[in-house]
Structure 1
Amino acid sequence: MALFVVYCKDKPGALETRMATRPTHLDYLNSVTALKAAGPLLDDAGSPIGSLLIFEAEDKAAVQALVDNDPYTKAGLFESVAIDGWRVGVGSITG
């Protein structure tokens, strides 16, 4: 198993899509046992502009499948999605 960070940026002007899809997105994330941490990226005013997620999975393909099934992805919220391997350098990820 390895850790992966997923960095998603919303399309400009997509706040309404984000908020309308948020309940099903949260339900989905709460059902994903591979998820270690997640939360919104924020602009300087504190408004959501994207998402950051950390998964523990066998490989990048498994993480891509999880991202592909996320209601935010299915709603077309994201302008870009990057998935990279990651390891904890300081602190810890539990859960």
Structure 2
Amino acid sequence: MIFSILLMDRPGTADLRIQVRPEHRAYLATKAEQMSFAGPLTSEDGKTTVGSLLAMDFPSRAHLDAWLQDEPYTKAGVYEKPIVHVFNNMWAQKVGFPPA
């Protein structure tokens, strides 16, 4: 089941996010085969990170919650409460989008 996971950063955690980023990326890499997409959300300036958006396949919400509990940004206190919904992809993925 694919879940969309919206994770907004707590105010004042920009430096902590940078510090924990290597652990966060390594943790995400362990689930690369389950990931539809993942990446940071930014403010309109395109530079200031405000959170993360992921779409990942898990057998159940309980599995997702267990994974998210050990996620480095979660453990460090970067993220506020996650917003999670089941995602039904009705649009074909575009490889290499946007074009280079």
1:37-92 Cα deviation digits (max 9, x unpaired) = 21001101121100011111111111111111110000000122111101102123
Structure 2, gaps ≥5 residues long: 96-100
> In the alignment, residue 36 of structure 1 is paired with which amino acid?
S
Provide the rounded CA distance (Å) in 1 between the counterparts of 2:7 and 2:17: 12
> In the alignment, residue 71 of structure 2 is paired with which amino acid?
D
Provide the rounded CA distance (Å) in 1 between the counterparts of 2:44 and 2:4: 22
Bigger Rg, which one: 2
Provide the rounded CA distance (Å) in 2 between the counterparts of 1:73 and 1:39: 15
> In the alignment, residue 57 of structure 1 is paired with which amino acid?
F
Provide the rounded CA distance (Å) in 2 between the counterparts of 1:34 and 1:65: 15
Provide the rounded CA distance (Å) in 1 between the counterparts of 2:94 and 2:30: 18
Regions of 4+ moved over 4 Å: none
Q: How large is the RMSD of aligned CA atoms in angstroms?
A: 1.6
User: Which aligned pairs between 1:1-95 and structure 2 lie closer than 5 A?
Assistant: 2-32=1-31, 33-46=33-46, 47-92=48-93
Structure 1, gaps ≥5 residues long: none
Provide the rounded CA distance (Å) in 2 between the counterparts of 1:36 and 1:85: 13
> In the alignment, residue 34 of structure 1 is paired with which amino acid?
Q
> In the alignment, residue 25 of structure 2 is paired with which amino acid?
L
Provide the rounded CA distance (Å) in 2 between the counterparts of 1:34 and 1:90: 18
3-state SS of 1:78 partner: coil
Provide the rounded CA distance (Å) in 2 between the counterparts of 1:79 and 1:4: 18
The structure with the greater share of residues assigned to strand is 1
Provide the rounded CA distance (Å) in 1 between the counterparts of 2:36 and 2:89: 12
Provide the rounded CA distance (Å) in 2 between the counterparts of 1:93 and 1:56: 18
